[in-house]
Amino acid sequence: MQLGPLQLTSNLFLSPLAGYTNLPFRLTLREVGGVGLATTDLVNARSLLEKNPKALKLIETAPADRPLAVQLFGSVPEEMRDAAVYLESLGVASVDINMGCPVRKVCRVGGGSAMMTEMDKTANLVKGMVQAVKIPITTKMRLGWDDQNLTAPDLARALEAVGVAAIFIHGRTREQGFSGTINLDGIRAVVEAVEQIPVIGNGDVTTPEAAKKMLDETGCAGVSIGRGAFYNPWIFQHTLHFLKTGELLPEPRFEERVRVMCRHLDLMVEVFGEGHGCRMFRKVAPWYAKRFGPANEFNKRVVQISSKAEFHDVLESYLRWRRQFVDENGELRPRFQPAPMVASFMQEPEVARREQIPVPKGPVEVW
């Protein structure tokens, strides 16, 4: 997979998830394997230029966290350009521009989805960034503002003309929020609109089969995965294997899920300190637990941890409690096993509506 001058080892990308795609999560996913390029949470260009400590924390990285893209948002061309130049000087591999953020705070200042309705202005802003740096500039967008305004194909073509290296497209409109299903035809329309740059499809990919369906039916060059990686940090590695061999690897065993969860916590503590890292982990651990089988005892208590010792207490008593649900080989008895994941666009619409992937709560509930 080629992104401008950047050679990637896989065509699978980690989508930006504000509040989640921090250094510890990215390192955890990279250790599990299969990620071609990981992205930070969105970062305000002006805050970055002002060296605001929160913005600097969002771009914190490490040697094992490569290649790394930083996602910027903003609507002032000079600020976006200077922020890209600054990121290039730090060794960041590529810069992504947020055009698909439906949060009011971002749209009000002309960034995010608002950019999709002002094509010339946006193309000029992007051109200024492309001309100022050698690293690839990419953009991430939705299909358009609403079903009557599916502007993504036109915008993608205009952005290719000013030199963007790739387009990430979430197959929903701004109006849809996170409801409804992914519009694969809408993604295909973007693929068909550009001449040669890669288009990366995104939305509701929770299994290797879903990634393959998105690639096959839209002609996109790669797939970007967000919430699917919460449930399943193995999704990149398993998808890569499936795309190469057609073979589906077995789901990771419970012990492996617990091992990776503990590693994730260790990295959170390393990067954010014990108290803050553990408090942040309160919203992360329940995502791992969604694939544990019965886990209410764990979920109730893990949202109160403030130290690693407390976490391990919670985990140990959960492991004892969970024994009642397993057979003599330590496997969950069939009736306690979580239902297999199926992507929204691989289900009947009625079922897809019922089984939407939750949008995590927290500072990002408006996404």
To ligand FMN, the closest distance from the beta carbon of 41 in angstroms equals: 5
Tokens of 266: 């260790």
Chain residue at closest Cβ approach to ligand FMN? 226
What phi, psi does 353 have (nearest 5°)?
Answer: -65, -40
Q: Is 16 in the site for ligand FMN (CB under 6 A)?
A: yes
Which is nearer to ligand FMN, 19 or 128 (by Cβ)?
Answer: 19
Give burial (CB, 10 Å; 0-12/13-18/19+) of 363: exposed
- Build a one-symbol-per-residue string for 196-215: x at contacts with ligand FMN by CB under 6 A, - elsewhere: ------xxxx----------
To ligand FMN, the closest distance from the beta carbon of 208 in angstroms equals: 14
Q: Is 94 in the site for ligand FMN (CB under 6 A)?
A: no
Q: Are 35 and 29 in contact (CB under 8 A)?
A: yes
Tokens of 33: 């394997």
Beta-carbon count within 10 A of 219 CB = 14
Stretch that binds ligand FMN, among 118-126, 223-231, 237-245, 260-268 (CB under 6 A): 223-231
| Single-letter residue type at 250 | P
> Which of 114, 225, 295, 305 is the binder for ligand FMN (CB under 6 A)?
225
Concatenating the DSSP letter of every residue in 182-203 gives --HHHHHHHHHHSSSS-EEEES
> Which of 28, 75, 98, 183 is the binder for ligand FMN (CB under 6 A)?
98
To ligand FMN, the closest distance from the beta carbon of 80 in angstroms equals: 15
Tokens of 259: 């091992």
| 276 vs 206: CA distance, rounded Å | 29
Which is nearer to ligand FMN, 208 or 318 (by Cβ)?
Answer: 208
Q: How many angstroms separate the Cα of 307 from the Cα of each of 21, 130, 233?
A: 21, 45, 23
Q: Supply the DSSP symbol for 293.
A: S
Strand partners, 137: 95
For residue 338, cis peptide bond before it (omega within 30 degrees of 0): no
> Which of 227, 238, 264, 322 is the binder for ligand FMN (CB under 6 A)?
227
| 311 vs 290: CA distance, rounded Å | 17
> Which of 24, 228, 233, 286 is the binder for ligand FMN (CB under 6 A)?
228
Q: At what angle do helices 254-272 and 308-322 cross, to 10 degrees?
A: 170
Please tell me which residue in 101, 107, 220, 278 is annotated as part of the active site.
101
Q: Is 71 in the site for ligand FMN (CB under 6 A)?
A: yes
Which is nearer to ligand FMN, 326 or 364 (by Cβ)?
Answer: 364
To ligand FMN, the closest distance from the beta carbon of 294 in angstroms equals: 25
User: Can 107 be counted among the known catalytic residues?
Assistant: no
> Which of 101, 214, 267, 289 is the binder for ligand FMN (CB under 6 A)?
101
Active-site amino acid positions: 101
Binding site for ligand FMN (CB under 6 A): 15-20, 41-42, 71, 98, 100-101, 140, 170, 202-205, 225-228, 357, 359-360, 364, 367
